[in-house]
A and B are shown apart, each in its own frame.
Chain A
Amino acid sequence: MTAPVVDATDLRIWYGTPRGPVRAVDGVSFSVGRGEILGLVGESGCGKSTLGRGLLGLLPEGAKMDGHLGFKGEDLLAMTPKERFQRRGRDLAMIFQEPLTRLNPLMRISEHFVETLRTHHPKMSAAEIENRSLEVLRLIGIPPSRWKSYPHEFSGGMRQRLMIALALVLRPAFVVADEPTTALDVLVEAQIIKILHDLRENFDTSLLLITHNLGIIAEACDRVAVMYAGKIVEIGDARTVFADPKHPYTRELLRSTITLATDGLHSIPGAPPDLVAPPTGCHFHPRCPDAMEVCRLREPAIRARGGGPVMVGSNDVACWAATPEGLTAGETAPLVREELSVADEA
């Protein structure tokens, strides 16, 4: 197997608030191979957006990141800020959530492209810039007649395509797409997802697709990472994880999804935890149907999903219930818990 384009180990992103440090990302490991699409799914507030921004170095002032973040073999976090900055845009790109406000309203589309290309390739001629940009736009589905238009002359879906084109014109090796279709309607969403899915053919990019929508993951992703309260609880091949989820949270998420076969609404009781003071042990234990005594005491060990050697960050699960090997009888006893008070319900 070829070396991964991005591999992260024990990544942490914390930021300080008056109440105490918020552990937005608390020890996350994953890897993305070349041309691969990894989906990152979780509820709002689980830290996935922070993780996405952290990979690009777009964290707000006061946020701290540590761990190991490898890009094509180099450790990004060991570099100087300047070196990291050089890779932004050129090697690592981002596609944001709200396309309507992501383009400068006073600048034409052409000016956006010129600015982007000139920054990274100062010697490129105007003609070459235009050719390259129009080529990318054509692949994304924007006709060259709109080259001189202003952003407000495009619909939401078109603007998202523009964002994607703008990110790809530099041919980055790795793209983070942070909820790219959440603000778009379903039909447009399908088109955008198809474009993202086909990226690897035309551009050979790896993609981290952040979303809360399981359907998109199933459609477009090779692998999926499920995130909860700042940690990745399960990661592996998308089809396998959805067919045979090992972690209770993944199971609950799947059961909450509404399909034509749904005859009753299912929701996970309780609310996502406070990231300043998350629950002890496994962060999910207050809401987990399979919780055991040990879940409250110790964070789960990361074990392989299907048995066999552990491949942390590529095909594993962090759950005592799923992998109870080595636990005592007392530890595996079902968790005794107080009634969830009304205040805990969202």
Chain B
Amino acid sequence: MKILLAPFRNTTGMARWLLVSGLALVALFVVMAVFAPWLAPYGFAQNSVDGVKFEKLVPPGPGHPFGTNDLFYDVLSRVIWGSQTALVVVLLSVVLSALIGVPLGLLSGYVGGRTDRVLVLIMDALYAFPSLLLAIVFGFLLKSVLPSGVVAAALSLTVIYIPQYFRVVRNTAVSAREATYVEAARALGASNSTIMRRYLFSNVIQSVPVIGTLNAADAISTLAALGFLGLGIQPQEAAEWGFDLSRAMDDAASGIWWTGLFPGIAIVLLVTGLTLVGEGLNETVNPTLRKRRFSAVVLPPAAVPSGSATGSTTGAEGAAS
């Protein structure tokens, strides 16, 4: 519990505001995602109600607060359902990458030697490669293989983030073997399990949420990009903001703004929220970023010690007051 509250207590002023606003934004989308069936006026692939088909490309107005798009879908519903898609896919991929990356990192760190070197090389190469291109390649492959677009998208994203968990955990594991503060702990008699628990575990615990949040932000972006390129999720399977935006590109020329604006803003808000949370956590975790501030102080009038001379001279005794 203390760990959870630490970000609030350790940040002050602006940093805390940013963290709070980030959390508020994320919370908004989580609520939308969880309560989509109740919040959204229509289904994500619903193009008619009571047998009456919606009109195409209707501007925002009564009945359709965000308008309709060229597939006869209600934009507001697509936006709300889209948050469910986004969160499900991203949660899946971030959790999977952590589940793969963390143990691999531990293994690599402790075992060392050739295994470590090879793994580090592979992970570094993956990390250096443009993440979007990697996702594109995987998306390209998995699309023909997997029936579920959602799972395919999630798996495409997973690969990109594995290296980050791997690196952090591996470095922590290596330092657990070699760091001077660990040596000092050992010299004081700390057992291996204590070392693992206090240094390794707590270091990892602190950095994984930061990485996870920032990865989630990136994942939402990448998912939308995949959708935009047509490698994502089909509109009948689920609502996905990137796909909706790709269709909105043609609308722009005709002055139709609502099909693109709302999904786009949704992406911006969610990614911003996640990034703010991630950065806020980072400032908490990384003490070097915190600023040591002194507040202004008012000096009370100087108290005169009894029996002393006032004023300084290098000669005669000062007059007693």
Chain A directly contacts chain B within the complex, with at least one CB pair under 8 Å: yes
Interface residues of A (CB under 8 A from B): 1, 4, 7-10, 12, 14-18, 21, 27, 29, 31, 33, 60-64, 66-68, 298-303, 309-314, 318, 326
Contacts of B114 in A (CB 8 A): none
How far, in Å, is A303 (CB) from chain B's closest CB? Answer: 8
Contacts of B307 in A (CB 8 A): 301-303, 326
Q: Which of A8, A15, A313, A318 touches B294 (beta carbons < 8 Å)?
A: A15
Bound-state CA distance A298–B306 (Å) is 8
Q: Does B3 contact A (CB under 8 A)?
A: no
- Please tell me if the beta carbons of B314 and A311 are within 8 angstroms of each other in the complex: yes
- Please tell me if the beta carbons of B312 and A312 are within 8 angstroms of each other in the complex: yes
- Please tell me if the beta carbons of B295 and A62 are within 8 angstroms of each other in the complex: yes
How far, in Å, is A257 (CB) from chain B's closest CB? Answer: 28
Bound-state CA distance A15–B296 (Å) is 7
- Please tell me if the beta carbons of B308 and A310 are within 8 angstroms of each other in the complex: yes
Bound-state CA distance A67–B318 (Å) is 17
Bound-state CA distance A18–B299 (Å) is 16
**Given A16-B294, A16-B297, are A310 and B305 neighbors across the interface (CB < 8 Å)?**
no
**Given A299-B305, A301-B306, A301-B308, are A312 and B298 neighbors across the interface (CB < 8 Å)?**
no
- Please tell me if the beta carbons of A64 and B299 are within 8 angstroms of each other in the complex: yes
Q: Which of A67, A301, A302, A318 touches B302 (beta carbons < 8 Å)?
A: A67
Residues facing A in B295-321 (CB within 8 A) are 295-299, 302-303, 305-309, 311-318
- A/B interface sample: 11 pairs, CB < 8 A: A14-B299, A17-B295, A21-B297, A27-B302, A31-B314, A63-B297, A64-B299, A66-B302, A300-B305, A302-B305, A309-B316
Contacts of B297 in A (CB 8 A): 14-16, 21, 62-64
- Please tell me if the beta carbons of A310 and B309 are within 8 angstroms of each other in the complex: yes
- Please tell me if the beta carbons of A31 and B312 are within 8 angstroms of each other in the complex: yes
Q: Which of B295, B299, B318 touches A312 (beta carbons < 8 Å)?
A: B318
- Please tell me if the beta carbons of A302 and B314 are within 8 angstroms of each other in the complex: no
Other than the known A61-B293, A302-B308, A312-B311, what 12 A-B pairs have Cβ atoms closer than 8 Å? Answer: A8-B312, A62-B297, A64-B297, A64-B299, A67-B302, A299-B303, A302-B307, A309-B316, A309-B317, A312-B313, A313-B312, A314-B314
Bound-state CA distance A224–B165 (Å) is 57
How far, in Å, is A214 (CB) from chain B's closest CB? Answer: 25
Contacts of B312 in A (CB 8 A): 7-9, 29, 31, 68, 312-313
How far, in Å, is B132 (CB) from chain A's closest CB? Answer: 35
Nearest B residue to A27, CB-CB: B302
- Please tell me if the beta carbons of B298 and A311 are within 8 angstroms of each other in the complex: no
How far, in Å, is B12 (CB) from chain A's closest CB? Answer: 10
Contacts of B303 in A (CB 8 A): 27, 299
- Please tell me if the beta carbons of B305 and A12 are within 8 angstroms of each other in the complex: no
Contacts of A326 in B (CB 8 A): 307
Question: What bracket does the count of chain B residues touching chain A fall in?
Answer: 20 to 34
Contacts of A63 in B (CB 8 A): 294, 297
Contacts of A312 in B (CB 8 A): 308-309, 311-313, 318
Contacts of A301 in B (CB 8 A): 305-308
Contacts of A68 in B (CB 8 A): 312
Bound-state CA distance A311–B294 (Å) is 35
Interface string of B148-161 (1 = CB under 8 A from A): 00000000000000
- Please tell me if the beta carbons of A1 and B314 are within 8 angstroms of each other in the complex: yes
How far, in Å, is B259 (CB) from chain A's closest CB? Answer: 52
Contacts of B317 in A (CB 8 A): 309-310
Contacts of A17 in B (CB 8 A): 294-295
- Please tell me if the beta carbons of A66 and B295 are within 8 angstroms of each other in the complex: no
Contacts of B305 in A (CB 8 A): 27, 298-302, 318
Bound-state CA distance A97–B311 (Å) is 32
- Please tell me if the beta carbons of B315 and A311 are within 8 angstroms of each other in the complex: yes
- B297, B299, B306, B311: which has the most chain A beta carbons within 10 Å? B297
Bound-state CA distance A68–B310 (Å) is 11
How far, in Å, is B321 (CB) from chain A's closest CB? Answer: 13
Contacts of B315 in A (CB 8 A): 1, 311
Contacts of B311 in A (CB 8 A): 9, 312
Contacts of B316 in A (CB 8 A): 309
Bound-state CA distance A326–B311 (Å) is 22
Bound-state CA distance A306–B249 (Å) is 92
Contacts of A313 in B (CB 8 A): 312, 314
Bound-state CA distance A18–B9 (Å) is 13
Bound-state CA distance A17–B296 (Å) is 9
Nearest B residue to A301, CB-CB: B307
Bound-state CA distance A307–B307 (Å) is 14
- Please tell me if the beta carbons of A66 and B318 are within 8 angstroms of each other in the complex: no
Bound-state CA distance A33–B314 (Å) is 10
Bound-state CA distance A27–B307 (Å) is 15
- Please tell me if the beta carbons of B309 and A66 are within 8 angstroms of each other in the complex: no
How far, in Å, is A1 (CB) from chain B's closest CB? Answer: 6
Nearest A residue to B295, CB-CB: A16
Bound-state CA distance A33–B302 (Å) is 26
How far, in Å, is A333 (CB) from chain B's closest CB? Answer: 19
Bound-state CA distance A16–B292 (Å) is 11
Bound-state CA distance A334–B213 (Å) is 63
Bound-state CA distance A66–B302 (Å) is 9
How far, in Å, is A39 (CB) from chain B's closest CB? Answer: 18
Contacts of B313 in A (CB 8 A): 311-312
Contacts of B308 in A (CB 8 A): 301-302, 310, 312
Bound-state CA distance A64–B309 (Å) is 24
- Please tell me if the beta carbons of B314 and A64 are within 8 angstroms of each other in the complex: no
Q: Which of B293, B306, B309 touches A62 (beta carbons < 8 Å)?
A: B293
Nearest B residue to A67, CB-CB: B302
